[in-house]
Amino acid sequence: MPSANRSSRTGSTTHPGRLLLIMALITAAVAAWALWPGQDNAVRLGLDLRGGTQVILQPKAVQEGAAITDDQLAQTVQIIRQRVDGVGVAEAEVTVQGSGDGAAIVVSVPDVSQERLVELVGRTALLDFRPVWSIEGPAPQVDDTTAAASVTTDDAATSARIVQAADNTPEYQAEVAALDCLDPINQAGGSPDDPKLWLGTCDADGVAKYSLQPAFIQGTNVTDAVAQLPQQGVGGWVVSLTFDSDGARALAEASQELYALPDCVPGGASPCNAFAIVLDGVVVSAPRFNEPIIGGQAQIEGDFTAQEAQDLANVLSYGALPVNLEVVEVTSVSPTIGGDQLRAGLIAGAIGFVLIVVFLLVYYRVLGIVAVASLTLAGGLTYLGFIALGKSIGFTLTLAGVAGAIVSIGLTADSFIIYFERIRDALREGKTMRSAAEVGWVATRRTILAADFVTLLAAVVLYIVSVGNVKGFAFTLGLITLIDLLIAFLFTYPVTVLLCRASWMQRGSWLSGLRATRKGDGGEVEEASEGRTSVGVES
Amino acid sequence: MSRRSSLGDRLYRGESGIDFVGRRRTWFIVSGVLILISLAALGFRGLNLGIEFQGGAVFSVPNATCSVPDARDTAAAATGADVIVTETGAGIVRVQTPPVEPAQSQDISRVLAEACGVPVTDITTQVVGPTWGAEITAKGIQALAVFLVLVTIFLAVYFEWRFAVAALIALAHDILLTVGIYAVTGLQVTPATLIGFLTILGYSLYDTVVVFDKVKEETKGITAQSVMSYPEAANRAVNQVLVRSINTSITSLLPVVAIIVVGAGLLGAGTLLDLAVALAVGMLAGVYSSIFIATPMAVVLKMRQPDIKALDNRVAARRGGSGRRAAESQEAAAAAVGVADGPAVETSAGRQQPKRQPRSKRGKK
């Protein structure tokens, strides 16, 4: 048989101690990574295990048949994250799964009411252009400290505060004056404004406060926005804008009117020469007109870096989101039920584990101990791996993941079952215990690699293509398959080799679990093994 | 007989064992009938799809003090539509409604909480838009297609195309049987079930790879001799790997069964239970098919290969010259496909030692 040749090649070169040392180092490294003090050293649980609300949104192109780009997705996620962060939710997660038309945006939060979350994330971001009425410093300006106090308590509410009114009334002005643009919540946006009303709001950096007239152009009138270096090569980056015909007309009108006005400065004249680009209720930029703009083509200049110009261009292109967000799934799990599910998963895992341990010990005896140790180590590594990955890439364990882990116990067990059966095969061919462990491994190694490769392939494909729960499951399956390989090569194999070198194992004690195959077991065995050999030679 | 050797030993030496390859017609017929039943059930009954696939909302009320009819009336009044209310394992009342707006679902939670005397935050809700299920399904099929192409390439390179085809047939067999069981029993198909199906793909192929690997090893260089025919060698390989297949199935199924028992006892319907049921069914089908379907199928394909055909003829001729069953064997050898049926079935105990005691062993039969 082919394995006979191989044994002579590999037999002398194995250093079980070395392999075990590598295993110990890897385990120590993962443990250190996972359990390093001072951080949150627990497995991050998914929403279905700890309770919370999850909304899955599907972006749809506004124009029929238009493709959704990665940029648009990134921008959408950015805006949603701003909104969710804006309401002060801890541990909100916003992720994109998939790309293009099949993409899904998954928003998970631990404890916000379902209504509120759906309202927050389902809305399309609103972009508009408004003539500036006046600019003030960011701090609230009120005569009376008690009024300021009352405003602040009012603001302790959850989302960005904006002031809107049908007209530039004294009440409106007083409220704008009281607005606190030093408060980060008010700079975050997330409260879309009504374009037909006056708007008092902050800028995104918290350096100024604006009072703005009703919008003259909406984001949907922008057909294109790109960041570029000016052709003359003077000055920094600029953002070039192209408007549709409605936008061009409105821009021509507004620019002619505003161009004549004095420049906008804090506390200066009102109205003044600037227009504000407002995204989701917050001013992202407020350029002034250098000249009337007639052709529907405008350039925003400023001391932009390439990044700033690109960001602004993104806001202008996608701010009004050429994607419509459709809420396709809302799940909210109460913490009680989440906890029950987790407990049931753990109980099932423990019962399954105990049953397997009993089976392995009865069937394989001493080798069974190696098997149980391998399984335990695999379990431990998986647990530590969950923690470590939670820290590094935000891995969360969901119920599907728990199921994946429990299922993988069987796959892990298979590796050493194949190995042990191969050792028996080698013993039946008349090998000594010592060389059987080596010969068996050569055949096992190939099988495990091929079979695990298939599982890994399934995990990778599922992870890339699928969404939601399936993704979590695929990730767990892939992780555990890798751990399985690690354990088989660096733990099960060297430990078994060491064990088979022990003299009491070689004497064929019943404890070895290999009793029935012991040599010299009687005429039948001898005869049969001879017969076996004769076939082997011929084949 | 000095001492009884273990089953594993006898399987290994080919002294005892099941003629998986030779009796392949039996297995193919059994599987064919099961698949026909599955397809019929699928055609006539269809699958019981969960709300994720058709849109709808599910509200789970734990520790509910309300009765099922109460909950039904309350929810029906709130939605103005037919609702399905069931009580699952641990006192959880499960209310399933047609698709609703997210805001409306909040109202339904509220009235249910009131009617059933639990805090509204304890109610688990899930609202799924009507088109989302189609998306999930499309993704699933896409994943399946990509995976199958890649895995076929891998199997064709690692083994050969005949094995790849046989593995895919076994895979299709497993998936059809599993889906069929869902159609027959009316168990609900949820995204978790889908995950289960996809895992079965991996598991079924994993199992087939392990068995094929042994077949590949046992039949390496087989054409250089003329004692053992290809079907016999393949059959011995399957028998040798049988103990491993049984043990692996036991270890794989133990935790899955634990999930089913714990899941059904403590939780009632849920992701865990859905997944475990799909897996249990699929794992059993996977182990069965890797032995009874995949290998015999690979043998059928292999036996069309000229050098294997020649080998089987040689083996048959050799036996025909020394045995009583010459005419029969040669006839079988001529009809290449049927070649294994004769000798493999009849001489399963003696064929490993043809030179030592050909007549006596065969004579006993």
Total domains in the fold of chain A:
3
Q: Are residues A420 and A520 in the same domain?
A: yes
Residue pair A412/A375 in contact by the 8 Å Cβ criterion = yes
Pair (A402, A308) in one structural domain: no
A470/B contact by beta carbon, under 8 A: yes
Q: CB within 8 A of A317, min separation 6: which ones?
A: A71, A222, A224, A225
Q: Is residue A385 part of a domain?
A: yes
Vertex A34, ends A30 and A39: CA angle to 5°? 155
pLDDT digits (tens, 9 = 90+) for A501-512: 876 666 655 555
Q: What's the rounded Cα separation, in Å, for the pair B346 and B363?
A: 10
B104 against A5, higher pLDDT: B104
**Does A355 sit within 8 Å of B125, measured CB to CB?**
no
CA distance A380 to chain B (A): 17
Calpha distance A86→A159 (Å, rounded) = 6
Q: Is the pLDDT of residue A5 over 70?
A: no
Residues of chain A numbered 426-455 and touching chain B (CB < 8 Å): 428, 443, 446-447, 450-455
What is the DSSP secondary structure assignment for residue B325, as one 8-state letter? Answer: T
Res B117: pLDDT: 79
A-B CB pairs within 8 A amount to 305
Q: What is the pLDDT of residue B325?
A: 47
- Candidates B96, B60, B55; CA nearest to B79 is B96
Assess A465–B contact: CB distance below 8 Å, yes or no: yes
Q: Which residue, B151, B259, B131, B268, is CA-closest to B203? A: B151
Q: Which of B127, B154, B198 sits opposite A329 (nearest CB)?
A: B127
For residue A229, what are the contacts with CB-CB under 8 A and spacing of at least 6? A236, A237, A238
Q: Has residue A146 been placed in a domain?
A: yes
The whole-angstrom separation of Cα A471 and Cα A473 is: 5
pTM above 0.80, yes or no: no
**Which residues in B lie closer than 8 A to residue A110 (C-beta atoms)?**
none
Q: Which residues of B touch A426 (CB under 8 A)?
A: none
State the residue for tokens 């399309």: A124
Sign, CA dihedral A242-A244-A245-A250, equals negative
- Give chain A positions within 8 Å (CB) of B202: 454-455, 457-459, 477
A97 vs A327: CA distance, rounded Å: 15
Tokens of B236: 């011995």
Local confidence band at A468 (pLDDT 50, 70, 90 cut-offs) = low
Structure tokens of A398? 């969901």
Looking at the domain assignment, is residue A26 inside a domain?
A: yes
Report whether A237 contacts A254 (CB < 8 A): no
Residues of chain A with C-beta less than 8 angstroms from the C-beta of B216: none
Structure confidence at residue B31 (pLDDT): 92
Q: Is the pLDDT of residue A196 over 90?
A: no
Sheet order of strands, A93-97 included: A93-97, A104-109, A52-61, A323-333, B124-128, B56-61, B92-97, B84-88
Residues spanned by the domain of A441: 2-45+334-533
Confidence of residue A386 (pLDDT cuts 50, 70, 90): confident
DSSP state of A203: B
Nearest to A328 among B106, B125, B132 (CB): B132
In this complex, do B199 and A400 lie within 8 Å of one another by their Cβ atoms?
A: no
Question: Is residue A183 located within the same domain as residue A322?
Answer: yes
pLDDT on residue A213: 87
Q: Are strands B48-49 and B188-189 parallel, antiparallel or unpaired?
A: parallel
Q: Cα separation of A530 and A89, whole Å?
A: 74
Is residue A513 located within the same domain as residue A422? yes
Nearest CA in chain A to B222: A539
Contact residues for A22 (Cβ-Cβ < 8 A; gap 6+): A490
Dihedrals phi, psi of A135, to nearest 5 degrees: -120, 140
Nearest to B339 by CA among B365, B314, B307, B364: B314
Tell me which of A123, A140, A167 is where a domain ends: A123
pLDDT at B164: 93
CB contact under 8 A, B199 and A538: no
More confident residue, A498 or A14: A498
Measured distance CA(A468)–CA(A105) in Å, rounded: 10
Q: Which B positions 215-254 lie with beta carbon below 8 A of chain A?
A: 217, 220-222, 224-225, 227-228, 233, 240-241, 243-244, 247-248, 250-254
Rounded Cα–Cα distance for residues A439 and A5 (Å): 9
Give the number of other Cβ atoms within 10 Å of residue A208's Cβ: 17
List the one residue out of B194, B184, B173 whose CA is nearest residue B40. Answer: B184
pLDDT tens digit sequence for A322-361: 567 777 777 777 777 777 777 877 888 888 888 888 888 8
> Does the pLDDT of residue A267 top 80, yes or no?
no
Contact list in A for residue B94 (CB cut-off 8 A) is none
User: A20 with A145, same domain?
Assistant: no
At A83 the pLDDT is 64
Q: Do B206 and A402 touch (CB under 8 A)?
A: no
* Co-location of A98 and A153 in the same domain: no
Helix or strand run (H / E) with residue B87: strand B84-88
Could you tell me if A81 and A144 lie in one domain? no
Same domain as A351, residue A320: no
Q: From A326, A346, A367, give the residue that closes a domain.
A: A326
**Tokens representing residue B41 in the block:** 């059930």
Q: Is the CB of residue B133 less than 8 Å from the CB of residue B55? A: yes
Query: Region A52-74: what's the mean pLDDT?
Result: 74
* Predicted local distance difference test score (pLDDT) of residue B167: 92
Asked if residue A367 and residue A494 are part of one domain, the reply reads yes
What separation in angstroms does the CA of B208 have from each of A247, A324, B216? 64, 46, 12
Q: pLDDT tens digit string along A171-189?
A: 888 888 888 888 777 776 6
Identify the pLDDT of residue B331. 43
Render pLDDT for B168-219 as a digit per residue (tens, 0 to 9): 999 989 888 888 888 888 887 877 777 777 777 777 888 888 889 889 888 8
**Do residue B151 and residue A454 have CB atoms under 8 angstroms apart?**
yes
Q: Distances from the Cα of B169 to the Cαs of A88, A94, B28, B196, B256, in angstroms? A: 54, 41, 11, 19, 25
Specify if A277 maps to a domain: yes
Q: Which helix (H) or strand (E) holds B201?
A: helix B191-218
Q: Do B202 and A455 touch (CB under 8 A)?
A: yes
Which amino acid is present at B301?
Answer: L
List the single residue in B150, B222, B276 with the smallest CB-CB distance to A539: B222
With tokens 């042994």, the residue in question is B214
pLDDT of residue B337: 39
Residues A174 and A80 in one domain: no
Question: Which two structure tokens, joined as six digits, stand for B355?
Answer: 């030179």
The DSSP bridge partners found for residue A129 are A217, A277
Phi-psi category of residue B308: left, alpha or beta, with phi > 0 → left and psi -120 to 50 → alpha: alpha
First to last CA, chain A: 7
- Tell me the percentage of chain A whose pLDDT exceeds 90: 1
A332 and B195 in contact by Cβ < 8 A?
no
Which residues of chain A neighbour B93 with C-beta distances below 8 Å?
none
- Tell me the backbone φ, ψ of residue A518, rounded to 5 degrees: -65, 145
Contacts of A36 (CB under 8 A, 6+ apart): none
Cβ pair B124:A333 closer than 8 A: yes
Say which of B90, B124, B279 has its CB closest to residue A407.
B279
Q: Report the first-to-last Cα separation within chain B, whole angstroms.
A: 20
Whether residue A299 contacts residue A312, with contact meaning beta carbons closer than 8 Å, is answered with: no
Distance from CA of A523 to the nearest CA of B (A): 7
Which residues of chain B make contact with A538, given a CB cutoff of 8 A? 224-225, 227
Tell me the backbone φ, ψ of residue A179, rounded to 5 degrees: -65, 135
Give how far Cα A322 sits from Cα of A487, B234, B287, Å.
50, 61, 50
- The residues in B 129-148 lying below 8 A from A, measured between CB atoms, are 129, 131-132, 135-136, 138-140, 142-143, 146-147
Query: Where is the domain boundary, A123, A141, A169?
Result: A123
b/e B287-315 (16+ beta carbons within 10 angstroms → b): bbbbbbbbbbbbbbbbbeeeebbebbbbb
Residues of chain B with pLDDT under 70: 1-8, 13-16, 88-91, 102-103, 130-133, 265-271, 321-365
Residue B192: list chain A partners with CB under 8 A.
400, 403, 469
Q: Kindly state whether A506 is in contact with chain B, defined as any CB-CB distance less than 8 angstroms.
A: no
pLDDT of B28: 92
Long-range contacts of B30-36 (CB under 8 A, 24+ apart): B30/B292, B31/B173, B31/B177, B31/B289, B31/B292, B31/B293, B34/B177, B34/B180, B35/B173, B35/B176, B35/B177, B35/B180
In a domain, A430, yes or no: yes
Q: Domains (ranges, CATH) in chain B? A: 7-48+133-302 (1.20.1640.10), 56-128 (3.30.70.120)
> B149 or A143: which carries more pLDDT confidence?
B149
Q: Which residue of A has its CA nearest to B142?
A: A465
Angle at A95 between CA A94 and CA A96, to 5 degrees: 140
CB contact under 8 A, B257 and A352: yes
Torsions phi, psi for B62 (to 5 deg): -80, 155
pLDDT (tens digit per residue) in B104-145: 777 788 888 888 777 777 777 777 776 666 777 777 788 788
Pairing of strands B56-61, B124-128: antiparallel
| Residue A284 belongs to domain with CATH number | 3.30.1360.200
Is A204 part of any domain?
A: yes
Give the residue with greater pLDDT, A65 vs A527.
Answer: A65
**How far from chain centre, in Å, is Cα A307?**
24
Q: Nearest-CA distance from B349 to chain A in Å?
A: 12
- CATH number, domain of A86, equals 3.30.70.3400
Residue at A538 is within a domain:
no
CB contact under 8 A, A407 and B256: yes
Same domain, A229 and A245: yes
Nearest by Cα to A207 from A173, A184, A190: A184
Q: What percent of chain A has pLDDT over 70?
A: 74
Decide if A461 and B103 are in contact by the 8 Å CB cutoff: no
**Closest residue of A to B217, CA-based?**
A2
Q: What is the pLDDT of residue B30?
A: 92
Answer whether residue A539 is part of any domain.
no
For residue A319, the model assigns a pLDDT of 54
Q: What is the distance in angstroms between the Cα of A76 and the nearest Cα belonging to chain B? A: 20
CB A490 within 8 A of CB A26: yes
**A339 and A400 co-located in one domain:** yes
Window 166-225 of B: residues touching A by CB (8 A cutoff) are: 191-192, 194-195, 198-199, 201-203, 205-207, 209-210, 213-214, 217, 220-222, 224-225
Lookup result for tokens 């309300």: B66
Q: Give tens-digit pLDDT for B32-41.
A: 999 999 999 9
Q: Following DSSP, what letter does each residue of B116-168 receive, concatenated?
A: HTS-GGG-EEEEE-TTHHHHHHHHHHHHHHHHHHHHHHHHHHHS-HHHHHHHH
Beta-carbon separation of A403 and B259 below 8 A: yes
Give me the pLDDT at residue A85, please. Answer: 65
pLDDT band at A514 (very low <50, low <70, confident <90, very high): low
Mean pLDDT for chain A? 75
Please name which of A518, A350, A113, A359 lies closest in space to residue B106, comparing C-alpha atoms.
Answer: A113
